[in-house]
Structure formats: C-alpha cells, structure tokens
C-alpha cells in the first residue's frame, strides 16, 4: 500500500486572516503577507496557494511586464524561504466587472476582463513556478434562474478552458467545485461537473479538480466519495481539507472537527489511492475562529495538520484483513463497530 507516502502540506495566505465576518469589524489586525511566508516552514507547511493578487497586488493597474517583474520577486522570496507555489487562482469575484460572474457574465466586456485576468494569472503562475491555476468559479451561477442562459453559460466555461489550454501549452487547470455561496446556485457544483468539463475540453489531461471537504458537504455529498471519483479519473489536482457542520454558510472549520469519521474516510481514500506520491499537496483551507485571541492566529492550521497525520496513522493501522472478511460476509454492523472502536483508540 502507500504507507511510505510522506505528505506535503499547503495553505493560502487567506487562511491567516483578520477573523472577519459579515456582522462585525475585523477581530484581528492585518498581518502582512510577507510576514506570513516566514510562518510556513515552522508550522510544517511547504506549499503556498495563491490568488493572483496575493502575488501581485493591484495587478489590474499594471502592465503584463510589470506583473512579471513583481511575480519574479515573489518567486525569489519563495526560493529563499524553501517554499513552493502550489497554484495561483484568479480572484474573479472582487472586481466591479465580476459582480454578475466572470466567464458567464451576460456582459461581453466583463467576460473580456475575465479572460485577460485569466491570462495574467497564468503568467503569474508560470513566473512563480506553479504548474496549475485553480478556478474557484465563485460567481459563475445565478441568484435567480432566469438571469442567465445556463446552457450558454456551460459553453462559455468550456470555451474559456479551451482558450486557456491554448494560451499556455503546459499549464494545468484545476476546477474547484462549490454548489452555492456567493451565488444561490453555481454552475459547477460537484466533482462530476468539473470532470465532465475536463473531458469535454481539448486536452483533458490538463484539466483536473480540487475537492474541498466543506464544498462537498454543502452539496450534500460525502467528500471522500467526491475525492474517490476524481481519483478514479486521475483528476485530483489537490484537496482543500476542512470541515462543515451541515448545510449552512461555508464554514471552513478545522479538518475533522465536525465529523471525525468522515475525515478518516477522506484520509483513507487518499492513502488507498496513493495520493501525494507524485508530489500532490494536502491543502488545508481552514479559517480561525473569530473568537480566537492573538495575532497571527495559526493554531487552526497546526491542529488540522496534526489531525490529518493522526488519521494517517489510523488508516495505516486499520485492520485490512478484518475489513475484507467483514465485507465478504456483508456484516456491515460489525464493520461499523470495528471502525468506530478503531477511531476511539481501541480495536
Ligand atoms: C474557496 C477556495 C478559494 C480557492 C482559490 O473556497 O478555497 O479560495 O481555493 O480561489
Ligand atoms: Mg477552497
């Protein structure tokens, strides 16, 4: 089995946050990105996930050449700190031009903005040495169904993917599905949708998906099954492990904190399929609680990483022979009890 996999961990600078929520002011002071990078190694993380404007702030006002110069400086900083850029994602939900979506906006000029921003994101990814861009399709959906033509929207998403594949012959595109928030309903809610888009594209080997635990739960699906589906197609570019307590706003809770058994199954699926052996990162998209004191607040990252590693041990000591026997006997009552006792520390 994959017992020798040594996992590499990643997170994005947004995971060390000011503790903001929509109902009150920031709970902590701004902690500048430059200072965040120094925290990665001591916390046991090696990969940095970026938004395009985390690498080059204010990029909309800069020329492509200026953008490349600034991205080059970040590349040097990463090298000096022993860090790797895992991916760069275009932040296509903040600008005035993306109020009603980016690639699926009804406005041709807004779609053009989104395409130009995507090209700059690819340039930045290349400059910082990252092999992938992530498309979290935040506003590609609707608040009311009548607002857009859904079929045309899918065609526009596919066209954009093909344009990006043609723009750069090596970059990979990892689509991160999420069913809702900030839209009422999103066009790419699940791994199935992302993988279908990949296969429909002109070079499907370069189109993969990122599965986030909380997003799968928001779609009322099991994250481990979403991951397994992507793995079956060799399309799991990365994972965003976290947790979510039911169908409500996106919580980004600590990995395993709402459902330890579901977390165990995610780790089990990753381990069983050799995830990580080709250098894939274990990304932790967790947010600190608003109530947590201090600055910077990083315990949520530490705890989620520790929990992941504890669960790796649980997966490696899971009695495969017994599990096989119980599966063969179709004794799922016994299989469940064994699994729960194993997680509790006995059995
Ligand atoms: C949202 C995502 C997002 C992407 C990058 O849940 O985590 O931040 O990963 O755009
Ligand atoms: Mg995410």
Question: If we measure between CA atoms, which residue out of 218, 301, 215 comes closest to residue 257?
Answer: 301
pLDDT by residue (tens digit) across 200-237?
999 999 999 999 999 999 999 999 999 999 999 999 99
Q: Is 134 in the pocket of ligand 1 (CB under 6 A)?
A: yes
pLDDT by residue (tens digit) across 305-333?
999 999 999 999 999 999 999 999 999 99
Residue 3 lies in a domain: no
Q: How far is the CA of 321 from the centre of ligand 1 (A)?
A: 39
CB atoms < 10 A from the CB of 314, how many? 18
pLDDT by residue (tens digit) across 144-182?
999 999 999 999 999 999 999 999 999 999 999 999 999
CB 21 within 8 A of CB 287: no
Q: Is 52 in the pocket of ligand 1 (CB under 6 A)?
A: no
- 340 and 287 in one domain? no
**Would the pLDDT of 32 be above 60?**
yes
- 176 and 56 in one domain? yes
Residue 2 lies in a domain: no
Mean pLDDT confidence for 187-209: 98
- At 347 the pLDDT is 60
Give per-residue burial for 148-179: e unless 16+ CB within 10 Å, then b: beeeebbebbbebbeebbeebeebbbbbbbbb
- 196 and 334 in one domain? no
- 336 and 245 in one domain? no
**Would the pLDDT of 2 be above 70?**
no
pLDDT by residue (tens digit) across 125-134?
999 999 999 9
Q: Which residues are catalytic?
A: 51, 54
- 153 and 40 in one domain? yes
Q: Which runs of E-coded beta strand occur in the chain?
A: 8-11, 47-51, 84-89, 132-136, 141-142, 172-176, 185-186, 207-212, 236-241, 281-284
- 286 and 326 in one domain? no
First-last CA distance in the chain: 21
Residue 287 lies in a domain: yes
CB 237 within 8 A of CB 276: no
Mean pLDDT confidence for 41-59: 98
For the chain, the average pLDDT equals 97
Q: 82 exposed, middle or buried (CB, 10 Å; 0-12, 13-18, 19+)?
A: exposed
Q: Is 89 in the pocket of ligand 1 (CB under 6 A)?
A: yes
Mean pLDDT confidence for 289-317: 97
Q: At what angle do helices 150-167 and 191-200 cross, to 10 degrees?
A: 60
pLDDT interval class at 4 (50, 70, 90): confident
Mean pLDDT check: name the lowest of 10-14, 31-35, 274-278: 31-35
Residue 1 lies in a domain: no
CB 65 within 8 A of CB 120: no
What is the longest distance spanned by two Cα atoms in the chain? 65
Starting from the CA of residue 89, give the closest ligand: 1
Residue 118 lies in a domain: yes
- At 3 the pLDDT is 53
Q: What percent of the chain has pLDDT over 90?
A: 96
- 326 and 212 in one domain? no
- 44 and 21 in one domain? yes
Mean pLDDT confidence for 6-13: 97
Question: For the chain, how many structural domains are there in total?
Answer: 2
CB 293 within 8 A of CB 254: no
Domain of residue 335, residue span: 320-347
The CA–CA distances, whole Å, from 334 to 268, 340, 341 equal 19, 10, 10
């Amino acid at each position: 089995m994959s017992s020798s996999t040594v996992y590499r961990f990643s997170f994005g600078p947004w995971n060390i946050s000011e503790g903001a929520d929509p109902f009150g002011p920031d709970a902590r002071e701004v902690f500048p990105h430059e200072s965040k990078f120094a925290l990665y190694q001591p916390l046991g993380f090696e990969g940095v996930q970026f938004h395009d404007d985390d690498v080059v702030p204010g990029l909309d006002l800069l020329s492509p050449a200026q953008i490349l110069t600034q991205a080059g400086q970040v590349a040097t900083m990463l090298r000096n700190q022993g860090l790797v850029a895992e991916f760069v994602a275009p932040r296509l939900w903040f600008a005035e031009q993306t109020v009603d979506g980016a690639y699926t906006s009804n406005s041709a000029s807004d779609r053009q903005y989104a395409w130009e921003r995507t090209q700059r994101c690819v340039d930045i990814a290349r400059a910082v040495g990252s092999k992938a861009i992530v498309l979290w399709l935040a506003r590609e959906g609707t608040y009311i169904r009548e607002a857009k033509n859904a079929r045309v929207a899918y065609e526009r998403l596919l066209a954009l993917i093909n344009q990006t594949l043609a723009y750069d012959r090596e970059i990979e595109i990892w689509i991160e599905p999420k069913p809702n928030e900030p839209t009422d309903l999103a066009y790419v809610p699940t791994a199935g949708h992302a993988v279908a888009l990949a296969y429909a594209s002109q070079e499907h080997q370069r189109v993969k998906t990122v599965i986030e635990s909380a997003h799968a739960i928001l779609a009322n699906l099991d994250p481990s099954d979403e991951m397994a589906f992507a793995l079956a197609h060799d399309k799991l570019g990365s994972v965003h492990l976290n947790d979510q307590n039911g169908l409500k706003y996106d919580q980004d809770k600590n990995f395993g904190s709402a459902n330890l058994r579901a977390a165990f199954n995610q780790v089990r699926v990753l381990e069983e399929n050799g995830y990580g052996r080709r250098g894939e990162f274990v990304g932790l998209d967790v947010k600190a609680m608003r109530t947590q004191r201090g600055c910077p607040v990083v315990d949520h990252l530490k705890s989620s990483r520790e929990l992941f590693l504890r669960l790796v041990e649980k997966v490696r000591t899971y009695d495969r022979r017994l599990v096989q026997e119980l599966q063969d006997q179709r004794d799922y009552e016994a299989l469940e009890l064994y699994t729960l006792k194993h997680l509790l520390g006995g059995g």
